[in-house]
Chain A
Amino acid sequence: MGIIEIRNLTKKFEAGGHVITALNDVNLSIKKGEIYGIIGMSGAGKSTLVRTINYLEIPNEGRVLIDDVDLSKLTEKELRIKRRDIGMIFQGFNLLEQRNVIDNVCFPLEIAGMSRKKARAKARELLETVNLADKEKVYPSQLSGGQKQRVAIARALATNPGILLCDEATSALDPQTTESILSLLKEINEKLDITIVVITHQMSVITDICTRVAIIENGRLVEEGPVEEVFDSPKTDIARELIANKQNTYSPVESLKSNKVIRIVFSENSSFEPVVANLILKFNTPVNIMGADTRNVGGKAKGEMLLGLPDDEDIQRSMIAYLKDRGLSVSEVREGV
């Protein structure tokens, strides 16, 4: 019996009259002391899955058992107390911007009703563990991404949880910082015997620290097992694709005739808005997506897209202006095919 048991879990969302099945009959058993990886493409349902483990998302069907306790059987208050035993860190760090480092780490203890003095002593100890003892009076805005995640880890460990959930915890970090955060997680796992669940879309994160892995596709768990086994002989296409981790390089298809092709680059912030969809809605004219890619440039996630614009020069100009207004960098690739 694992420390985390997920049985026949189904989660549906309703959006605009449509029902989307985010999780479909998922079964998982995570043993105490493991570093368990859950990998999938974006939109596969892995973030929803990790949120059912601390009941931030309440499943429609199925059960979640933590230490043999069925979360659906708990009252709201009992659930809140149970959550102290499940730490969580996030892609966006989610630190309190108006509190300094030590007060951030003290926050869960404050919520739990611990005295300020005891909380501070505990927080200092944890900042020592994550190598940030000299930053206790600093505010999050003055920290780098890696340092912020270290504070978040210290904060998540404050209540001595038995489980640590990591939701794409390294996805906003550059490769070096990712490596240092992963080795910190490994260290914590060994030193504190804490069970860690890692959600990621990067196979390298799984191969670096995880002992076992589950692969999710379209809300279903399609493959599961020890990392080595899955890595050596993947059974599903999606597993093979994730392992190959090939750089998806699309060469624009020449036969898609378009007079004007532009290349737009999304930075981290601009990718939240569905710019291309909005562009098409605004001008009521289709554009041709001829290629798309994401890459890591200096530690920042950059999205790149090649768009074939309609022939009308006025529309071309207004479309480029629209995209520039949205803070995207726009460059012309070629004129005429």
Chain B
Amino acid sequence: MFDQKIVGMLLEGIRDTLYMTLVSTLLGYAVGLPLGIVLNVTRTGGLKPNRVVYRILDIFCNIIRSVPFLILLILLIPFTRALVGQSYGSTATIVPLVVCAAPYIARMVESALNEVDPGVIEAARAMGASNMQIILKVLMVEAKTSLVTGATITTGVLLGYSAMSGTVGGGGLGDIAVRYGYYRWQTDIMIVTVALLIIIFQIIQNLGMKLATGIDHRKK
């Protein structure tokens, strides 16, 4: 159906899409995970309540999350260029993806940790656990199922956003869909890229949910 050149391009698109999605998820967690932990710890009733810190981070997360991704993509062009030297291509797209993902991940982590039974935290305090020990050995462990579910959802969202970056030359499958499907009216190529995105999404979602239930010891 397609010549070798197009097949090659599609394979490259898959590679770029996976690269953008996975690297931005990882980097997003590098920022978002500590941010989410701080949100959980400083909230009222947290391990170390601090209204000022909580409010600042809370507002910061809300501001970034309220900017639509496409706008963020454009707003961040100077920053991206300064950081990676260019504003188009897969690596450049990772920058706005991480900026967009970090506060989203922080919220996911915060709400996962908020669900941990306060009684268990109290028990750990009664045993003489320090706040750091409670975070690492109680909160993160007891919330692991929600954390993995959150990571799965985040990866799915970033897959979609990485495709959206195709409109401004972001690379990957979204880029191909925009260039061939939108500018050249080659509907067949667009349909194939969409199908590929659906398949990748399904794989991520299924693997993530399997992992989440697999590591859960609460109901078995």
Binding site for B on A (CB under 8 A): 54, 56, 77, 80-84, 86-88, 90, 92, 94-100, 107-108, 110-112, 139, 141-142, 152, 155, 159, 165
Contacts and interface: CB of A to CB of B under 8 A. Distances in A.
6 contacts: A87-B126, A88-B127, A96-B120, A98-B216, A108-B128, A111-B129
Interface residues of B, number: 24
Given A90-B123, A94-B119, A80 B128 contact: yes
Contacts of B119: 90, 92, 94
A98 B126 contact: no
A99 B126 contact: no
A94 B127 contact: no
Nearest to B123: A94
Interface of B: 117, 119-120, 122-130, 133, 137-138, 141-142, 144, 215-220
Q: Is the interface of A mostly helix, strand, loop or mixed?
A: mixed
A84 B133 CA distance: 15
Contacts of B138: 96
A98 B141 CA distance: 7
Contact of B120 (A77, A81, A95, A100): A95
A207 B215 CA distance: 44
A25 to B, nearest CB: 25
A54 B120 contact: no
A111 B218 contact: no
Given A56-B122, A96-B142, A98-B144, A139 B127 contact: no
B141 A108 contact: no
Contacts of A99: 141, 217
B49 to A, nearest CB: 14
Interface centre among B124, B128, B142 (most CB of A within 10 A): B128
A13 to B, nearest CB: 13
Contacts of A90: 119, 122-123
B45 to A, nearest CB: 13
Given A94-B117, A94-B122, A97-B217, A84 B128 contact: yes
A83 B133 CA distance: 15
A198 to B, nearest CB: 16
B126 A100 contact: no
A56 B121 CA distance: 11
Contact of A98 (B127, B128, B218): B218
A7 to B, nearest CB: 22
Contact of A142 (B133, B141, B216, B220): B220
B126 A97 contact: no
A56 B125 contact: yes
B133 A94 contact: no
